Amino acid sequence: MQFCTMLKKLQQKWGVNSGKMFLIMITFALGGSSCARLADLLLLLFFDEKNIFWWTAYFFLIVVLWPICVILISILLGQYSFFKSYIFRIWGKMIGKSVKINQKTTKIAIFASGKGSNANNIISYFKNISSVKIALILTDNSEAGVIDVAKNNHIPFHILNKEDRIDYSNCIEKLRNNHIDFIVLAGYLKKIPESLIRAFPEKIINIHPALLPKYGGKGMYGSNVHESVIAKKETESGITIHFVDEQYDHGEIIFQQNCDITASDTAETLAEKIHQLEYAHFPRVIYEVVQKQNQR
């Protein structure tokens, strides 16, 4: 049980999905066993018995052979880029320096209009992932809780006033000045204009608290969504993460996850279930999309 919890924590720290985590574990296992076997075979050439010199030589051989074996197996299993940075990091720790490998940092801006609990969750998730930085928070609501989230996490924020929202060129300039690569809408209630979509093609994703294409479109936000779902006596709802296009809640779907609705559920209890799904999946999906785009 504890082992599973440890694996889950590692998976979250490395920001990988279960399939990739499985391949990483296989690489570790095969890398470790093949390196031990190879060291054994090599030492047979020089020693007749396992004495103190054998163990000393064995230790040094393992230190040299382990990274080589792991890298070779990672190439076979398609995990080279993960292990390259992993081994560089260990090496850096051993020599007491942080070894800089040429890794690009993706800067994300989060747009939100409300409490910002998703924004907060995304920020915590990426704190341990050096290749992604939440660099800017934007809101259309000067009273939004997400402003406190930005302040508490020392992230610059900007409030989009009415003029900013009529003509988004100010906003686009702000995003460019902050070197933003990717935009995440986490409860942003205003429509994203064409100019912003054109400036960040396939780089804006949104989370919707229902299973699109049902319960999407204008006016379908916050508790409106959950009230409609309950009123229609649906037996399930869920979350949809999708790319943003010119229409409300319409772009290509990236990920969906459902949850059951019981007879005793209300709009409030359903909202809570949905939030739990959002916290569990949204950051990971963001990370997967960013990684995929960076590999192009």
- Which of 106, 278, 286, 290 forms a contact with ligand GRF (CB under 6 A)? 278
Q: If you search the block for the tokens 């996490």, which residue do you land on? A: 153
CB of 141 to ligand GRF, least distance (A): 10
Which residue lies nearer to ligand GRF by CB, 31 or 238? 238
- Can you read off the two tokens belonging to residue 213? 């294409």
Which residue lies nearer to ligand GRF by CB, 165 or 275? 275
CB of 236 to ligand GRF, least distance (A): 16
Q: If you search the block for the tokens 């906003």, which residue do you land on? A: 171
- Which of 67, 187, 238, 251 forms a contact with ligand GRF (CB under 6 A)? 187
DSSP-derived letter for residue 159 is: E
Task: Please check whether residue 237 is in contact with residue 211, taking contact to mean a CB–CB distance below 8 angstroms.
Answer: yes
* 218-247 binders of ligand GRF (CB under 6 A): 222
Task: Please check whether residue 216 is in contact with residue 248, taking contact to mean a CB–CB distance below 8 angstroms.
Answer: yes
Q: Strands 182-185, 204-208: parallel, antiparallel or unpaired by DSSP?
A: parallel
Which residue lies nearer to ligand GRF by CB, 86 or 182? 182
- Which of 39, 138, 175, 207 forms a contact with ligand GRF (CB under 6 A)? 207
Whether residue 250 lies in the annotated active site: no
CA-to-CA distance for 51 and 58, rounded, in angstroms?
10
Could you give the string, one character per residue 102-131, with x where binding to ligand GRF holds by CB under 6 A and - elsewhere?
----------x-xxxxx-------------
- Which of 16, 137, 186, 229 forms a contact with ligand GRF (CB under 6 A)? 186
Residue 49's alpha-carbon distances to 36, 38, 65, in angstroms, are 17, 17, 21
CA-to-CA distance for 286 and 42, rounded, in angstroms?
46
CB of 84 to ligand GRF, least distance (A): 35
Would you call 124 helix, strand, or coil by DSSP? helix
CB of 239 to ligand GRF, least distance (A): 7
- Of 154, 158, 179, 208, the active-site residue reads 208
* 258-277 binders of ligand GRF (CB under 6 A): 274-275
Is there binding between residue 171 and ligand GRF (CB under 6 A)?
Answer: no
Contacts of 159 (CB under 8 A, 6+ apart): 138, 139, 140, 141, 142, 147
CB of 189 to ligand GRF, least distance (A): 8
Which residue lies nearer to ligand GRF by CB, 190 or 275? 275
Which residue lies nearer to ligand GRF by CB, 73 or 144? 144
Work out the burial of residue 120: count CB atoms within 10 Å of its CB; fewer than 13 is exposed, 13-18 middle, 19 or more buried.
Answer: buried
CA-to-CA distance for 82 and 84, rounded, in angstroms?
6
Which residue lies nearer to ligand GRF by CB, 67 or 116? 116
DSSP string, 19-38: HHHHHHHHHHHHHHHHHHHH
Residues contributing to the site for ligand GRF (CB under 6 A): 112, 114-118, 186-187, 207-209, 222, 274-275, 278
